[in-house]
Structures are given as structure tokens and as C-alpha cells.
Amino acid sequence: RMESLPEAVLIRILASIPAVELVLACRLVCCQWKNLVDGAALWILKCQQEGLTDAESQEDAENWQNFYFLSKKKKNLIKNPCGEEDLQNWGEVENGGDGWKIEELPGDFGKEFPSEEVHKYFVTSYEWCRKAQVIDLRAEGYWEELMDTTQPKIVVKDWYAGRSDAGCLYELCVKLLSENEDVLAEYKSETISIPQDNDANWIEMSHTFSNYGPGVRFVRFEHGGQDTLFWKGWYGVRVTNSSVTVEP
């Protein structure tokens, strides 16, 4: 009989069951199973078994069930971050000057990107170019109670560079929005100026939202820039490998 098994053995048996079934089915079997599914030990074991944390980890998650699901779901929510699909998935596009263009790395007077997985970048022109994406968190599987109670970290990253023979400007603005698209939290970089005759190295911009309060349903990511010499063509800032991730 299952109820006669030592709790440690029962946890090991339950840990072999898919996580969704644990929550939707096993949790309803009896009070003992409900307590085990709601407790930390089962989810710590599942995290260890699936490589989300190791046996010696000092990770002290407040809610191990949420830690498990957030770790399993972690992915880049920005679509087409490197221009492999032209400007697809990017909205509210502002095409100043000659507009946005996609180029192959490293590009003229440019440097290779730190990751070999990135092959292209977006480049701006001689007037401001901007583009944005709005991420629907519920559509991506992040339920309201999770966002309102756990308030997992929302990590934003972007990479930018100039070409070594031209100066340029760069900006990043990310907003956390409510159901009605009210701004609940915002990060806006300074307008970053890259001088002419720069080293063309790629630079990472990063910001982490935490303790942002209940009600967040959307993330609006916007970036852009221009060149500072007003040369016709595409001598402005280059951007690629943008990312928004929801993390434990």
C-alpha cells in the first residue's frame, strides 16, 4: 500500500512523474500527496534529477515548485533577435534616414560577435531608427498568480556596437505593463554616444527587474539609434542578440 511507504521513498516515486501531472492529478489523490507536492523536498529532487540544480547547490528558492517550472520554461521571449527573419516580429518600426538594414557579421569596419551562434545584426541610419516588441506573458505561459505573487526576475539584455570609422548613438527602453498597458516599471538607458574611431567591440546592456509589484502582464522592449555623422547609408549603431527572460 502506497500510504505505508516511507515518505522519502514516496517522494522518489513521485519525482519520476511529469511535473504537470503532479500538480493537476497527484496533488488531488490525498492529503499526504498534496502536502508532498506542495512541499520543497519533491521539487528539489526533481531539480537535481533534471540538472536544474546540483546536489551541493546552496540555492535557497523561496518556492521550489515555481523554481522548477521557471527554470524549465526559461527561454528568450524576444522573437527574431538577430535579424535572421529580416524585421519580422518587430513592430512600431521607425525608419529614419535610409531605415533599418540587416547585415552579416562582422560587417564593414566591425568585429565578430562574442558568440559564434550569432550571424547577423540590425544597423541604423543617419536619422533615428527604432523598433519594438511587446511580449504577452500569459501567452508565453506565465500565469497571473505567478507574476503577482512570486514576481520572478525579468532579465533584459541587448548588444550594441559601432563601426570603427563612424560615431553613433544608442538607446534601450523596456517597460513592464499592466493589463491596460499602464507602465508599472521602466528601465531607460542614457543615450549612449560611441565616438568616431572607436574599437567596434560589441557591448552588452543588461537590466534585471525584481520586486516590481503585482499586475505585470506585458513587457515592451524598444531599442534604436543613429549615426552622428549623418552619412547616407548605414553607419549608425548595430544591435543584435536582444533577449528578455523570466527567471527564478
9-23, pLDDT tens digit by residue? 889 988 998 888 888
In sequence order, what are the residues at sequence separation of 6 or more whose Cβ sits closer than 8 angstroms to the Cβ of residue 174?
156, 186, 187, 188, 207, 209, 219, 220, 221, 222, 244
35-53, pLDDT tens digit by residue? 888 888 898 898 888 888 7
Query: Which 8-state DSSP code applies to residue 182?
Result: -
> Is the confidence at residue 57, as pLDDT, over 80?
no
The letter for the amino acid at 38 is D
Query: Which 8-state DSSP code applies to residue 211?
Result: S
pLDDT category of residue 25 using cuts at 50, 70 and 90: confident
Q: Which of 21, 222, 225, 18 is nearest to 128 (CA)?
A: 225
Indicate the SS3 state at residue 227.
strand
Supply the pLDDT for residue 197: 93
Q: Where, residue-wise, is CATH 2.60.120.260 in the chain?
A: 91-246
Burial 221-241 (b: 16+ CB within 10 A, else e): bbbbbbbbeeeeebbbbbbbb
- Work out the mean pLDDT of the chain and round it to a whole number: 92
Give the CATH number of domain 91-246.
Answer: 2.60.120.260
> Is the confidence at residue 2, as pLDDT, over 80?
no
174-210, pLDDT tens digit by residue? 999 999 999 999 999 999 999 999 999 999 999 999 9
214-244, pLDDT tens digit by residue? 999 999 999 999 999 999 999 999 999 999 9
Supply the pLDDT for residue 204: 98
Q: Which CATH architecture has domain 2-72?
A: Up-down Bundle (1.20)
Q: Where, residue-wise, is CATH 1.20.1280.50 in the chain?
A: 2-72
> Is the confidence at residue 62, as pLDDT, over 80?
no
**How would DSSP label each residue in 62-87?**
S-HHHHHHHHHH----SSSTTSTTTT
Cα–Cα distance measured from residue 78 to residue 57, given in angstroms and rounded to the nearest whole number: 30
pTM of the model: 0.84
Cα–Cα distance measured from residue 105 to residue 90, given in angstroms and rounded to the nearest whole number: 20
> Is the confidence at residue 59, as pLDDT, over 80?
no
